[in-house]
Amino acid sequence: MAFMCAPGKHRRPGRVKRTTAQAAGIAALTTTGVIGTVSAAPALAAENSVEQTGLTPVITMSDSVAEQIDAQAAAQQAVAERKAAEEAAREKAAEQAKKERAAKVRAAREAERKRLNTFVAPISDSYVSTGYKTGGSLWSSGAHTGIDFHAASGTVVHAVGTGTVVSTGWGGAYGNEIVIRMADGMYTQYGHLSSIGVSVGQKVTPGQQIGLSGATGNTTGPHLHFEARTTADYGSDVDPVAYLRKHGVDV
Ligand SMILES: [Zn+2]
């Protein structure tokens, strides 16, 4: 009888094969009455576990691993592409920001250049009543060393550009005068003033009021005498119209 049971037990793996280890355990419990079966059950369980965890899982894992590898590769590819896109976007943004900064710097420099170079007329809404180098007995040199701007007495006189006041006071034939050293190294002179509103060493900006026009000194009537010079002194005069036009003044 015990001998006959043995082949039956050997068939069991076939039935138990596709069951779980737990099912094998249950089978073992139902046969606890038979000594031979009880001793055989653990061996079956062990045999089954070898078959199940050895063969079937390996195949399953092979497929799953392949799928995982594919999925991982796809995911890594996607991540790499996203990172590359993000990097490209960052670089583009950085380049754009750099361009904008450069444009701002250029604009600021341009504004500063304009501020420094753009002059104004010394008398607003006026005109040149007597031109440069005009001959006449009125001038000691025999020719006009500057230009005259038509201006009633008491008209506001402006510094034509950025500069520093180097001289103020009585200038003989020029009456009350102001001389300014301009930012470009040239000098401008303002004569026949009724009032001087600045002092030596004072910084002035384009359009700043420096005094009032008048008829002091050697003149037949009120106006502003204006000179452009290469030095602070009389005799170094250049064409004031050309000088003002060079700095953007419509005169
Ligand atoms: Zn004059």
- CATH number of the domain within which 225 lies: 2.70.70.10
Is position 63 within any domain?
Answer: no
Give the residue numbers spanning the domain of 242: 128-246
Q: Which residues of 41-74 are buried (b: 16+ CB within 10 A; e: fewer)?
A: beebbebbeeebeeeeeeeeeeeeeeeeeeeeee
Catalytic residues: 223
- Judge if 139 and 227 occupy the same domain: yes
Tens digits of pLDDT across the chain (251 residues) = 444 444 444 555 444 444 444 444 444 444 444 444 444 444 444 444 445 555 555 555 567 777 777 888 888 899 999 999 999 999 999 999 999 999 998 888 767 666 666 899 999 999 999 999 988 666 666 789 999 999 999 999 999 999 999 999 999 999 999 999 999 999 999 999 999 999 999 999 999 999 999 999 999 999 999 999 999 999 999 999 999 999 999 99
Is position 251 within any domain?
Answer: no
Is position 140 within any domain?
Answer: yes
- Judge if 146 and 237 occupy the same domain: yes
Is position 227 within any domain?
Answer: yes
Output the CA 202–ligand 1 centroid distance in Å.
25
The helix/strand count (H/E) of the chain reads as 5, 11
Is position 114 within any domain?
Answer: no
Is position 121 within any domain?
Answer: no
List beta partners, residue 225: 148, 191
Which two tokens mark 229? 């010079």
Which two tokens mark 139? 């001038």
Is position 84 within any domain?
Answer: no
Output the CA 130–ligand 1 centroid distance in Å.
7
Task: Give the number of domains in the chain.
Answer: 2
Is position 87 within any domain?
Answer: no
Burial of 157 (0-12, 13-18, 19+ CB in 10 A): buried
**Residue 193, phi then psi, degrees to nearest 5:** -70, 145
Output the CA 198–ligand 1 centroid distance in Å.
21
- Judge if 146 and 43 occupy the same domain: no
Output the CA 141–ligand 1 centroid distance in Å.
12
Output the CA 89–ligand 1 centroid distance in Å.
65
Q: Are 226 and 243 in contact (CB under 8 A)?
A: no
